[in-house]
Structure 1
Amino acid sequence: MRTVAFHWSGGKDSALALTALLDDESVVVDRLVTTVLRESSASTVHEIPVDLLQAQADSIGLPLQTVVIPGPGLGGYVEAMDAAATRMRREGIDTFAFGDLCASGVLDHKVAQFAPLGIEVLEPLWGLTSHECVERFLASGIRAVTVVVDAAVLGPDGLGVGLDHDFFADLPAGVDPCGELGEFHSFAHDGPLFRRPVDFELTAPRRFEQEIGTTDGMRTYTYWLATPRGRR
């Protein structure tokens, strides 16, 4: 029996992978873990505020542990996560689980990071293609909306859109249907995984640029972002 800390992004793939883990009798999901930026108190990549991450966790029925990344960007991620992983291992966590697909190519990197700390890596969606993942997501009943889109792929009108059959059918040619190349990110807010819907609203769209390290060196990407907020 594995004792798992699930690395929760707040998006569709996280919700789908967590659903699979909760149905797996060989594992016990002990907690959700999310990295948050010190400056903004919001999750990395998706920029979901901590209060909404907590609302998601409360609705799912699992405790949330945040790991603060000093930044900027993902600066200090490895050091902060290694320290948190060492503490979690002492608390009985023996496995970290993620919602990655094999198109992301991150599994070897994560194994190399966490295996020396005595922690296995589990990827419930790893064997799925992006198309298979989309079909499983649509069948799951999980509801999610877009909160970040690559400006080279979608405009600001692509934000706040529900991830349904029409959304995936209307994606431009060549776009990974799961957004595995960063084309879009989402916020999961309802469905069988949740005991109750997570109430939220989105801020007005804003455009921002981010430098990201790739196999070809640093590249600048431009995104549209609509931050989910708890309703006032």
Structure 2
Amino acid sequence: MKKRIVLSWSGGKDSCQALYELVKQGYEIACLVTTAPKEMGLTFAHGERIELIEAQARSLRIPVYVIHCSFDSYTDDFHREIIKLKEIYQLDAIAFGDLYLDGHREWGEKLAKGAELEALYPLWMRQENAICALSTFIDTGYQAIVIRTMHNQVPDKWLGKRIDKEFWKEIQTYDVCPMGESGEYHTFVFDGPLFHEKINFRTSSKIVQDHSTKLDIFLND
């Protein structure tokens, strides 16, 4: 019997590539899970509108569950809701799209242990292999754009830029992780092999924040 998995989902390239790898390995993805601040329609991970995450889930034909939590109680809220999802979906494991940051993995493994679930990290690698991981994502055929850039790391002009071979070449001229593992940039995936239909969206204004600049995007009516 296939192991049933809940996948931590940001809407970006890492979680999408993690999904792709898990499916290839024969896991059953029972549901996706994302987090959002209480009383806000944006995700914690990248600040996308929840309806964009829901559109991805519909296209992937996988249910998505939004955990509404606060900064102060984030871990406790996440743990409580994962316990509920474990019972609803009869889960065996929780998967994450982290690449190499030990602190992130320690958090996820502790969370999984508390819920009596296996922790899976299908993309885990050595830091120097991140450039190969970016190439793999592009070659796999997924389509994504940059939706957030960190100040003094990568240029704001990249907002809206496609993740393609040109991007792969250009990012190597910057002293950052090519996959943006430390938050140098974030992405939104709108099409690819596991998607049943392309996400139809439009871009809007650029919003300058304390540490980053965000591209506001909306679903097309």
TM-score under structure 1 length normalisation: 0.88
What's the counterpart of residue 194 of structure 1? 195
Cα distance in 2, alignment partners of residues 19 and 184 from structure 1: 21
Q: Which runs of 5+ in 2 are unaligned?
A: none
What's the counterpart of residue 212 of structure 1? none
TM-score under structure 2 length normalisation: 0.92
Cα distance in 1, alignment partners of residues 58 and 212 from structure 2: 30
What's the counterpart of residue 38 of structure 1? 38
Deviations 1:106-151 (A, max 9, x none): 2122112220220111011013621221121011000000000012
Instruction: Tell me which amino acid in the other structure corresponds to 1:3.
Output: R
Number of residue equivalences: 216
Q: Give secondary structure in 2 for the equivalent of 1:204.
A: strand
* Conserved? CA contact 1:15–1:193, under 8 Å: no
* Conserved? CA contact 2:149–2:186, under 8 Å: yes
Q: Which runs of 5+ in 1 are unaligned?
A: 210-221
CA apart distance, 1:104 = 5.6
CA apart distance, 1:45 = 2.7
Q: Cα RMSD between the aligned structures?
A: 1.5
Deviations 1:163-190 (A, max 9, x none): 0111121124311100011100000001
Matched residues, percent identical? 26
1:86 aligns with 2:87: no
Taking the TM superposition and a 5 Å limit, the aligned residue runs for 1:145-156 are 145-156=145-156
Cα distance in 1, alignment partners of residues 114 and 68 from structure 2: 22
Would you tell me which structure has more helix in proportion to its own residues? Answer: 2
1:114 aligns with 2:112: yes
Cα distance in 2, alignment partners of residues 57 and 135 from structure 1: 24
What's the counterpart of residue 8 of structure 1? 9
Taking the TM superposition and a 5 Å limit, the aligned residue runs for 1:84-163 are 84-91=81-88, 92-103=90-101, 105-127=103-125, 129-163=129-163
CA apart distance, 1:24 = 1.7
* Conserved? CA contact 1:147–1:227, under 8 Å: yes
CA apart distance, 1:3 = 1.0
Cα distance in 2, alignment partners of residues 37 and 227 from structure 1: 17
